[in-house]
Amino acid sequence: MSALLRNSIWSSFPVRFLKQQAGLSTVELLDPRSCGKRHFTTQVQEHGKEVAAAATILVFDLETTGYFHKDHRIVEFALCDLSGGKNSTFETLVNPERTVPDYVEHLIKIGTDLVCRPGIPRFSDVIPLLLAFVRSRQAPGKPVLWVAHNAKQFDARFLAQEFDRCSAPLPADWLFFDTLLLAKKMVKAEGKKRRTSLEALREHYGIVSHDDAHRAMRDVMILSQVFQKMTFDLKLTNEELINEAMKAISNSSLNQREKKFRCLGVENELLLVSIKR
């Protein structure tokens, strides 16, 4: 990734942001500079009491044209700020500038005709709006913890690839947390054998979903609940998660390729992914 942020990323033209709900879409033109800076402190429940979190926690999910590969692209992106409040979610369809395979359309209900049409933004259009949204939610002086299920092999890699393709470095204070390995840690602690997929965790915690399609915001809403329940079960505070992430980064010795995409093991089981400039 380039060490310099392109001047064009905050260009004056508005980008198209597609707010999509349950398959019904509306398009709103927004200028990334129109998002006012708001200071939020994420609140979490720690064993019955409310405490301030050490970071802004964003649960995110994305849908793509296939498994991670340089030829595959993002077709839908969604996130939710766990601090809640007004405008705490962000979601958009994305024009992948390529066809969507039939098997993918069958699984996620997103086809070429839906995303490869006028009015659907390319990821280069989404980046400035996404950066503005995150900055508007970020607590002063605190990092942003991006949470996804299978982040190491899928979501974080795709996001890094798209930023790299658009010559836009990811902010240095973004950390990526993989809940799949957190789930494996929990299963090991219980001494039981069971699946660790997001759907299996949803069923385990009795989380109701009325939509079977694997859409980005649907999975974000499920993971938001799963993540909080798992961290509670494992008695992990958000401060502890961030401290472990920062400790791993400061103690790591990385080659040039790893500096571009960092996969850091914490206690051999809790994986934190940090993507730096």
| Partners of residue 59 on adjacent β-strands | 80, 147
User: What SS3 string covers 235-273?
Assistant: CCCHHHHHHHHHHHHHHCCCCHHHHHCEEEEECCCEEEE
Per-residue model confidence (pLDDT) at position 190? 83
Q: Among 138-142, 144-148, 163-167, 256-260, which is the least confidently predicted range?
A: 256-260
pLDDT tens-digit series, residues 174-204? 988 889 988 998 888 888 888 999 999 999 9
pLDDT averaged over every residue in the chain:
74
Check pLDDT > 50 for residue 208: yes
Reported confidence tier of residue 138, pLDDT bands at 50, 70, 90: very high
Per-residue model confidence (pLDDT) at position 235? 86
Reported confidence tier of residue 63, pLDDT bands at 50, 70, 90: very high
Residue 96 and residue 115 in contact, taking contact as beta carbons nearer than 8 Å = yes
Share of the chain above pLDDT 70, in %: 67
Distance CA 26, CA 201 (A): 32
Any idea which fold 56-252 has?
Nucleotidyltransferase; domain 5 (3.30.420)
Residue of higher predicted confidence among 269 and 100? 100
Per-residue model confidence (pLDDT) at position 2? 34
Residue of higher predicted confidence among 236 and 92? 92
Q: Among 10-19, 96-105, 150-159, which is the least confidently predicted range?
A: 10-19
pLDDT tens-digit series, residues 217-244? 999 999 999 999 998 888 887 777 776 5
pTM of the model: 0.72
Per-residue model confidence (pLDDT) at position 243? 62
Q: Annotated catalytic, 106?
A: no
Average pLDDT over residues 119-142: 95
pLDDT tens-digit series, residues 3-52? 332 222 222 222 222 333 223 232 332 333 333 333 223 343 443 443 34
Sorted by where each begins, the domain ranges of the chain are 56-252
Alpha-carbon separation of residue 132 from 137, 183, 222, 269 (angstroms) = 9, 31, 25, 33
Which tokens is 146 given?
Answer: 């991006």
Distance CA 172, CA 163 (A): 13
